[in-house]
Structure 1
Amino acid sequence: MPPLMKLSAVTLDCADPRALAAFYQQATGLELHPKSDDAFAGVAGADGLLIGFQRVDGYRAPVWPGHDVPQQFHLDFTVDDLDEAERLLLNLGATKPEFQPNERWRVLIDPAGHPFCLTTTG
């Protein structure tokens, strides 16, 4: 039996969809969605998966590692080299919180305040 559903998009709340889409486009190399605007923007891969960003008035960024403003979810990315990926992402506007879970995972914060993780394949 074929699967009932196929994941087609993940959408994150933020204050500035275009800026967050630009950050993730530079970080991942995914293509900017052609219908991106001030209310909704996104990046998409060849497989059709879209990472979307929607404007929310009064947006409050999640707090890592606390839960005063819950994460709700976060994105995980596999990289070849943690240190190199971290350097590049910090140059693009990510920040690195003091608390890190362990040496295999690196938590960074995107420009809108969403935590996301980096890990290696090995």
Structure 2
Amino acid sequence: MALYQQVTGLEPHPKSDGDFTGLNREDGLVIGFQRVDGYPAPRWPDHRSPTASHLLQGQRGPGGSRGRLLELGAGKPDHQPHELARARVLTDPAGHPFCIVRG
């Protein structure tokens, strides 16, 4: 969750515990993270393993540049489905893929 907190600038949810944590915005938006025992980490681009969500992050957001995301612990998979497109796939430290989109 630390990567997403740095990227979005959102505050930790006040009711976080060992099984649920989240990031929330003043208007009530919450991005939630839930612990699932035995959950297999996704393996991009293998769609047979669950990815649970697909987040898009604009590079103009706080901490949104690819270099900054890599410094924060994101991974850059070899497989990039849209090599010439504006989007690039990165993975969070748990292996969940997300896209960054150039502005």
**TM class by smaller structure:** 0.7 to 0.9
| TM-score normalized by the length of structure 1 | 0.73
Q: Distance in 2 between matches of 1:76 and 1:111?
A: 16
**1:18-70 C-alpha deviation (Å, 9 max, x unpaired):** xx2x2211121011111111110000122311100001101111221122313
Give the SS at the match of 1:70: coil
* Residues 59 and 101, structure 2, Cα contact 8 Å, conserved in 1: yes
| TM-score normalized by the length of structure 2 | 0.85
Q: How far is the alpha carbon of 1:71 from its aligned partner? A: 2.6
Q: Which runs of 5+ in 2 are unaligned?
A: none
Aligned counterpart, 2:97: 115
Q: Distance in 2 between matches of 1:37 and 1:23?
A: 18
In angstroms, what is the RMSD of aligned CA positions? 1.8
* Residues 59 and 66, structure 2, Cα contact 8 Å, conserved in 1: no
Q: How far is the alpha carbon of 1:120 from its aligned partner? A: 2.3
What code does the residue aligned with 2:77 have?
A: P
Q: Distance in 1 between matches of 2:68 and 2:92?
A: 12
Instruction: Check if 1:105 corresponds to 2:87.
Output: yes
Higher helix share: 1
Q: Distance in 1 between matches of 2:23 and 2:66?
A: 20
Aligned residues: 99
Instruction: Name which one, 1 or 2, has greater alpha-carbon Rg.
Output: 1
Instruction: Check if 1:39 corresponds to 2:19.
Output: yes
- Summarize the alignment of residues 73-92 of structure 1 with structure 2, pairs less than 5 Å apart: 73-80=53-60, 85-92=65-72
Q: Which 4+ residue blocks in structure 1 deviate beyond 2 angstroms?
A: 70-73
What code does the residue aligned with 2:65 have?
A: A
What code does the residue aligned with 1:76 have?
A: L
